[in-house]
A and B are shown apart, each in its own frame.
Chain A
Amino acid sequence: MVAIMSDDTPEKSIISRPMYGRLSAGNSTHHLFVADAEGAQAILDMQVPNASEFYSRAHIIYIPRDSGNRYLSSLQALNAKQFYTGPSIATALQRLQQTLSTAHMGLQLYLAGTEGLIGQAMQVAMNAGMDYAVIQTEHRGSRARRVQCVHCKGITEDVTTQPVTCSHCGLLLLVRDHYSRRIAAFQGVCINAEDPSYVPEKQEIFK
């Protein structure tokens, strides 16, 4: 069902799923980074010709999640004009929204880390009037999926198993390869609607 994939390429077969690239330093006077967990490494790996000048005009929003403080000191050493770490994607998104509400044209946005973070941050950016062309993305770390239950519309975060139990309505969901950019989530459909006694074993496949 899920193709074997190399560590950094999301499943190519999923047409609706966004393509991710590699972060590269853009041409601008303002740079904003939003990253979670291993996404930090995407920032650290980025080639920046005039780093001290570049980061003096940069703002980094970082959510360590289960990477703990593994990347914190390296990120801090970049000496960004502003560096913020937050406890959750939700707080980071709030901060992103605030930042964008007073931001100016020319701002370059860099999103790195899990698909859930990238997708949701992308939505916030588009709603703030940003153009795709100034948003770069790089997928790093977990392949956990953000899943929306088509029955109750509830979102279950960080799904690694197939099937998965909806954290809202409790139905057992088949995680489909159908990705919605609008809600930044994969679709989950009840796997045993006809016969609730059929309970297939959960397998850990989105790692």
Chain B
Amino acid sequence: MSAGTGKLDVLVTDIKPINTLVKRFQFERADGRPLPNFSGGAHVVVEMKDDDRMRLNPYSLMSSPLDTSHYAISVRRDDQGRGGSLFMHNQVAVGDRLVISYPVNLFALDLRASKHLMLAGGIGITPFMAQMAQLAANGSNFELHYSCRSRSLASYAQEISAHYDHRIHLYYDDEGQQIDISTLLSGQALGTQVYVCGPRGMIDAVCSQATAAGWPDQAIHFEEFITPPTGKPFKVRLARSDKTITVGEHQSLLEAIEAAGIDAPYLCRGGACGQCETDVLSCDGSMLHNDHWLTEDQHASEKKIMPCVSRFEGELLELDR
């Protein structure tokens, strides 16, 4: 498939349970060569062939960008989800071959910063693992505030605390601890950049409070991969390809387009990068927009859709694809 980026054949060389929900997977290149370079914040898209179904899920690289002998990702099991994480948890074994995309970075560090202020929630810790390794090697100034449900579910908390010491601040929900976002934002020296990765509520809170306090957009960075929501099946007419397809309950529109043998562009598959933006030719029904790429006006206009995460309810949706 040529639509995303180039592909890499990898071997699963290690799988480690981190806690009851999270497993860490390590990949090495099948041909034994070093993997491509990447910068902290990059993700890869993992292809999962599950019987006759193909899933492609994005995962942030958490291993050090300084060591390209392997890549590592962490997968949090989601029992209610569409099955990608369950596939990784239950079907993938050490020694398996997988296909992953080249790394793409949509959450890059701004290296001109005098300080990097990082806020992580839950599994949102993973891109910061790679970024911290990169910053520590450069001798750059950073500080991480990491909020977790409980001590037992705090993936990598002990490891990073031991490694980065006072730069790491941990907060446990079940002990009533919370990141005081506004205080944190109000005391940062000029030249600080803020980065947030975690649940939607946390990202919204950091972005809106930073903006209200006068931080320029350029200094606010966030990443949230939305997992494509499930929903009622719906019909789509692909005008350029002259095909009509049905998007299944657990399938994304993008996956259904791909399953019909059509190359469609994508990078993040999580509603963030804008790559999959598609023109809507007609819409007899209502679109269920889930991305945070299009503006509210664009959502309302019903002229564009992001097929990686958005759905449709109604008679027929016709796309320029």
Contacts and interface: CB of A to CB of B under 8 A. Distances in A.
A187 B92 CA distance: 66
Contact of B190 (A27, A28, A29, A128): A128
B215 A106 contact: yes
Nearest to B110: A131
Interface stretch (A69-77, A97-105, A137-145, A197-205): A97-105
B218 A131 contact: yes
A133 interface: yes
Contacts of B216: 131, 133-134
B120 to A, nearest CB: 19
B214 A129 contact: no
A129 B110 CA distance: 12
Nearest to A100: B190
A130 interface: yes
A133 B190 contact: no
B76 to A, nearest CB: 31
A108 B212 CA distance: 12
Give the dominant DSSP class at A's interface: loop
B186 A131 contact: no
A155 interface: no
Contacts of B211: 27
Interface residues of B, number: 21
Interface string A5-22: 000000000000000000
A26 B216 CA distance: 11
A105 B214 CA distance: 7
B78 to A, nearest CB: 35
A30 interface: yes
A86 B215 CA distance: 29
Contacts of A27: 211-212, 214
A133 B189 contact: no
A104 B305 CA distance: 39
B214 A106 contact: yes
A129 B190 contact: yes
Interface in B256-285: none
A149 to B, nearest CB: 31
A107 interface: yes
Interface string B239-262: 000000000000000000000000
Interface in B165-198: 185-192, 194
A131 B192 CA distance: 10
B213 interface: yes
- Tell me which of B114, B185, B213 has the highest count of chain A C-beta atoms within 10 A of its own C-beta: B213
B217 interface: yes
A133 B214 CA distance: 10
Contact of A29 (B186, B189, B217): B186
B219 interface: yes
B214 A130 contact: no
Contacts of A26: 214
Given A30-B214, A131-B219, A104 B187 contact: yes
A91 B261 CA distance: 69
A64 B202 CA distance: 47
Interface in A116-136: 128-131, 133-134
Interface string A28-40: 1110000000000
Contacts of A103: 189-190
Contacts of A104: 186-190
Contacts of B185: 105-106
A105 B189 contact: yes
Contacts of A106: 185-186, 210, 213-215
A162 B217 CA distance: 42
A31 to B, nearest CB: 9
Given A104-B186, A106-B185, A133 B191 contact: no
A29 B218 contact: no
Q: Which 5 A-B pairs have the closest CB atoms?
A: A129-B191, A28-B214, A106-B214, A133-B216, A106-B213
Interface of B: 113-114, 185-192, 194, 210-219
